[in-house]
Amino acid sequence: MLAFFFRDAKQSQAIKVVDKFGYVAAATTVGECWDGYSDQKAYNWLAAATVLKVSSSSTADVLTSGTGAWTIRISGLDANYLEVDEDVNMNGTTLVTTTTAFLRVFRVRVLTAGTGLVNAGDIYIHNNTVGTPTAGVPDDATKTYAKVLATNGQTLMTIYTVPANMVGRISTASWQSGATSGTAKDSTLSIFTRENATANAAWNIKGRSAGFSNAGDFDGMEYLEIPAKTDIKGTVVSSGAAGVSINFTMSLHEV
């Protein structure tokens, strides 16, 4: 359906629709809109394709015998910016290593689970290089690239990269803020992009809104075209501990 928004005959039919949605329960200082905000405000992007590690903060997240998550699916891009998925068997707080080298990770979801039907603990996708994770929690928060909060079953991260040989076209981009009027908890929410086809590329702002206890759209972002290999991130900041979210829908077209 989204392809009908683009009426140029030279434009290809959309082959995929991507919905990205991030949430931070208590935004204070500026940081990315992702599940790891409380551990590491600034999201650290992988500089090269890397084999990653998976662990949980709960021993119940273990294949077949646990009440929590049994298997998860990691979605991202490989060294060539091509889409890749890998399914991983959980082993509680014990590290499991992926077979895929990921350059980007932009979604993780629980595929199968025990009687609890969701992940019992926080699940980390990381490249911990400082010691051994304590009870499944990486010692170096800067090396975490995705985190599934306990009982969520999926990441909430406004982090994405357009795959190679694709162009992304945003159809909607919106935000919500739980800040309360009169309590000095106003929120500022932004969307940035970085075009990695250029060496040493800088981040450029594409939309910004501010508000409290309401929701709205990022004006001017409808139909915005995002080139291949471009990173997209949502950033949040609030003058008080407010819950905020940033969401966007994008269609992918072959080029």
The pLDDT assigned to 60 comes to: 98
The pLDDT assigned to 2 comes to: 33
CATH code matching the domain that covers 2-35+159-254, chosen among 2.60.120, 1.20.58, 1.10.10, 1.10.8: 2.60.120
Note whether 187 and 209 are within 8 A (CB): no
Return the closest-CA partner of residue 57 out of 115, 137, 130, 118: 137
Report the distance separating Cα 33 and Cα 24, nearest Å.
Answer: 6
The pLDDT assigned to 6 comes to: 40
Report the distance separating Cα 131 and Cα 113, nearest Å.
Answer: 29
What is the three-class DSSP state of 141?
Answer: helix
For residue range 80-105, list pLDDT tens digits in order. Answer: 999 999 999 999 999 999 999 999 99
Q: Does the structure show a pLDDT above 50 at 9?
A: no
Return the closest-CA partner of residue 87 out of 108, 104, 116: 108
The pLDDT assigned to 30 comes to: 84
- Comparing 80 with 242, which gets the higher pLDDT? 80
Q: Does the structure show a pLDDT above 90 at 72?
A: yes
**245 phi-psi bin (left φ>0, alpha ψ -120 to 50, beta other):** beta
Q: How many residues are given for the chain? A: 255
Would you state the structure tokens that stand for residue 112, as one six-digit string?
């199968």
What is the three-class DSSP state of 168?
Answer: strand
Q: What average pLDDT does the chain have? A: 88
| Angle, CA of 224, 226 and 230, to the nearest 5° | 150
Would you state the structure tokens that stand for residue 106, as one six-digit string?
């932009």
CATH 2.60.120 range(s) for the chain read 2-35+159-254
| SS3 sequence of 223-249 | CCEECCCEEEEEEEEECCCEEEEEEEE
What's the pTM?
A: 0.90
Query: Scanning the structure block, which residue is given the tokens 């800088």?
Result: 202
> How much is the average pLDDT of 126-145?
84
The pLDDT assigned to 3 comes to: 35
Return the closest-CA partner of residue 209 out of 247, 181, 249: 247
Q: Does the structure show a pLDDT above 50 at 5?
A: no
Q: Specify burial of residue 142 (Cβ count, 10 A radius: 0-12, 13-18, 19+).
A: middle
Span between the terminal Cα atoms of the chain, in Å: 19
For residue range 166-223, list pLDDT tens digits in order. Answer: 999 999 999 888 765 555 557 888 999 999 988 899 999 999 887 766 778 887 787 8
